[in-house]
């Protein structure tokens, strides 16, 4: 799994890039500061307008070129460069499945379009494949 847009469960210092331990974030009611350098702490996520981490995106592109099946789940498929991954998979011969509540630009090119909520469709797919969804064991 690649965290292309980061992980809200992590934070880091914008000045020295040091990770901020979760224990330092508990109970914080004002803007948190780094214990090492005093810089501001922010969530380790990519906000709109920010660049995706290049190394992670390169790994995602490589995976899209090499996969046999690609799932595009719950996305508008219009925010690039992340939206390009499904098209890369298509260009390299992968079977592309789109799962979304609405049609997107990708819908007409996907091999299979599953319309609905991912939280309902994914558990059904897992059970059809004989896999017990997490939390239902």
**Alpha-carbon gap, residue 4 to 54, rounded angstroms:** 9
| CA distance readout (Å), 57 to 19, 53, 101, 133, 134 | 21, 6, 26, 28, 28
Q: Is 33 a catalytic residue?
A: no
Q: Which is the catalytic residue, given 3, 4, 5, 123?
A: 5
Residues 26, 19 contacting (CB under 8 angstroms): no
DSSP 8-state class, residue 1: -
Label the pairing between strands 95-100 and 69-73: parallel
Beta strands across the sheet bearing 41-45: 19-20, 6-13, 41-45
Residues with a known catalytic role? 5
């Amino acid at each position: 799994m690649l965290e292309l847009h980061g992980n809200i469960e992590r934070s880091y210092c914008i000045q020295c890039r040091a990770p901020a331990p979760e224990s330092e974030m508990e109970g914080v009611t004002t803007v948190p500061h780094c214990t090492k350098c005093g810089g501001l702490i922010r969530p380790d996520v990519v906000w709109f307008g920010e660049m995706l981490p290049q190394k992670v995106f390169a790994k995602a592109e490589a995976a899209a070129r090499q996969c046999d099946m690609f799932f595009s789940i719950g996305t508008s498929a219009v925010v690039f460069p992340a939206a390009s991954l499904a098209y890369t998979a298509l260009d390299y011969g992968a079977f592309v499945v789109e799962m979304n509540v609405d049609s997107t630009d990708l819908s007409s090119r996907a091999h299979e379009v599953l319309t609905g909520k991912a939280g309902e469709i994914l558990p059904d797919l897992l059970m059809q494949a004989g896999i017990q969804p997490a939390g239902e064991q």
